[in-house]
């Protein structure tokens, strides 16, 4: 979006801004600068309104961002203000053109009789979600530093994605138990170092029978819409988490396994996850920590024979700091339990 304090416009100097999704520079060439600006004003306005808003500066080179100005006499300036306002009123669905601000900044460092200006059009993010079109039913969108016109299948796919985002952002989880379900599933992912950017690749690596997109995890409502019984069951089995805990029916997170009597089940359970790294070119091996019940002589004196095995399995490659912290915690726990 436009900044509260506009850049300093001096002839030949570069302004300290870059072209982005919300900033555009345009040098005006030809003998009819008013027509050039009017003809493009609605296209840029539509593109910015179909994203997050933005600002365009006519009279600034798009390469180098140097101020060259637009030559406009008094009559042309009045004509420009009136016709740009009229052109913006043709945008569909109709908008309040008063929310869009057209400002003419006089260029410094030139002869006053040159009457050079930088024309600034500020387009705020719309109150009502689009899509928005020009009077000719053309749809423009804003990419990084580029305004693009969409046609045919491109337009269809963009509109579908835009509507999915609207639906996801409008979803809210009002039912406390459903909110708790979402929170617990997110907790499972986070506890295993799976950031949102990891999830898609992790599901592919695990050969999950479903996928996930950034839109699916953008809001709690969208995440709840993505979840279903099949996915909850898969998460439960993959992460060895009790489904009853995920669904809020029980406080016990893990099943109690008597692997001493079922060694085959132990190896079968562990082996499912030994190659589950999301980055296939990185190697990591499971680590086992043996924890006895009780402390020292007390353990022997009471005849306790139970030994707990904690196995750290690399479900996902996580950050170095978090990996080191997890290893330190497990090592400390194992030492204190001797």
Residue 212 has pLDDT above 90, yes or no: no
Strands (E), the chain: 23-26, 54-58, 70-71, 101-106, 116-123, 139-143, 146-150, 287-292, 307-312
Residue 11 has pLDDT above 90, yes or no: yes
Omega before 131 cis (within 30°)? Answer: yes
pLDDT band, residue 78 (cuts 50/70/90):
very high
Strand partners, 308: 291
Residue 206: the pLDDT is 79
Residue 278 has pLDDT above 90, yes or no: no
Residue 288: the pLDDT is 64
Mean pLDDT of 51-60: 91
Q: Which CATH architecture has domain 23-168?
A: 2-Layer Sandwich (3.30)
Residues in the chain: 338
CA distance 168 to 81: 39
CA distance 3 to 19: 13
CA distance 169 to 154: 23
CA distance 205 to 185: 19
Task: Return the C-alpha torsion angle 315, 272, 279, 281, nearest 10.
Answer: 130
Range of weakest confidence among 137-146, 217-226, 281-290:
281-290
Helix (H, G, I), strand (E, B) or coil at 121: strand
Return the ∠ at Cα 183 (arms to 179 and 189), rounded to 5°: 150
* HSE-up (13 A, CA, CB side) for residue 103: 18
- CA distances 127 to 50, 169, 272, Å, are 11, 14, 50
Query: 207: which 2 tokens?
Result: 């050969």
Mean pLDDT of 152-158: 83
Helix (H, G, I), strand (E, B) or coil at 167: helix
Q: Angle, to 10 degrees, between the axis of helix 176-191 and the axis of helix 229-238? A: 40
Mean pLDDT of 215-223: 78
CA distance 178 to 221: 10
Residue 95: the pLDDT is 85
Based on the number of CB atoms within 10 Å of its own CB, is 249 exposed (0-12), middle (13-18) or buried (19 or more)? exposed
Q: Angle, to 10 degrees, between the axis of helix 33-49 and the axis of helix 74-88? A: 30
Q: Determine phi and psi for 90, rounding to 5 degrees.
A: -90, -5
Query: What is the rounded average pLDDT for all residues in the chain?
Result: 78
pLDDT band, residue 274 (cuts 50/70/90):
low
Percent of the residues in the chain that have a pLDDT greater than 90, as a whole number: 28
Spell out the domain ranges in the chain.
23-168, 176-246, 263-336
Helix (H, G, I), strand (E, B) or coil at 57: strand
Q: Determine phi and psi for 112, rounding to 5 degrees.
A: -55, -35
90-93: long-range contacts at Cβ-Cβ below 8 A with a sequence spacing of 24 or more?
90/42, 90/134, 90/135, 91/42, 91/45, 91/46, 91/49, 91/132, 91/133, 91/134, 91/135, 92/132, 92/133, 92/134, 92/135, 92/137, 93/128, 93/132
* HSE-up (13 A, CA, CB side) for residue 279: 10
Residue 223: the pLDDT is 85
Residue 168: the pLDDT is 53
Residue 335: the pLDDT is 52
Is 200 within 8 Å of 211 (Cβ atoms)?
A: yes
pLDDT band, residue 199 (cuts 50/70/90):
confident
Residue 338 has pLDDT above 70, yes or no: no
Which DSSP letter does residue 66 get? B
Residue 251: the pLDDT is 83
CA distance 242 to 235: 9
> Full-prediction pTM beyond 0.75?
no
Is 330 within 8 Å of 315 (Cβ atoms)?
A: no
Residue 227 has pLDDT above 50, yes or no: yes
């Amino acid at each position: 979006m436009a900044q509260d304090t506009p850049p300093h416009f001096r002839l030949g100097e570069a302004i300290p801004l870059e072209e982005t999704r919300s900033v555009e520079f345009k040098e005006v060439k030809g003998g009819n600068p008013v027509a050039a600006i009017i003809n493009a004003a609605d296209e840029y306005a539509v593109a910015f309104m179909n994203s997050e808003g933005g600002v365009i500066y006519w009279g600034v080179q798009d390469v180098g961002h140097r101020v060259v100005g637009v030559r406009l006499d008094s009559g042309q300036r009045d004509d420009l203000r009136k016709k740009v306002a009229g052109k913006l009123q043709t945008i569909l669905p109709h908008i309040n053109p008063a929310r869009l601000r057209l400002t003419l900044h006089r260029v410094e460092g030139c002869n006053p009789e040159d009457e050079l200006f930088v024309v600034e059009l500020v387009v705020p993010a719309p109150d009502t979600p689009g899509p928005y079109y020009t009077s000719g039913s053309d749809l423009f969108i804003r990419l990084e530093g580029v305004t693009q016109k969409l046609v045919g299948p491109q337009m269809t796919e963009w509109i579908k994605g835009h509507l999915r985002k609207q639906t996801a952002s409008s979803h809210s989880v009002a039912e406390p138990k459903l909110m708790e379900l979402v929170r617990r599933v997110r907790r499972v992912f986070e506890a295993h170092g799976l950031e949102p950017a990891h999830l898609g690749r992790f599901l592919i690596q695990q050969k999950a029978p479903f996928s996930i997109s950034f839109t699916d995890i953008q809001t709690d409502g969208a995440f709840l819409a993505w979840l279903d019984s099949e996915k909850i069951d898969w998460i439960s089995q993959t992460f060895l988490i009790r489904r009853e805990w995920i669904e809020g029916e029980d406080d016990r997170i893990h099943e109690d396994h008597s692997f001493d009597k079922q060694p085959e089940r132990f190896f079968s359970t562990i082996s499912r996850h030994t190659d589950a790294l999301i980055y296939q070119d990185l190697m990591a091996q499971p680590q086992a920590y043996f924890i006895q019940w009780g402390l020292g002589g007390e353990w022997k004196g009471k005849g306790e024979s139970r030994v707990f095995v904690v196995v750290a399995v690399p479900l996902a490659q996580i950050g170095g700091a978090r990996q080191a912290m997890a290893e330190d915690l497990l090592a400390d726990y194992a030492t204190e339990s001797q």
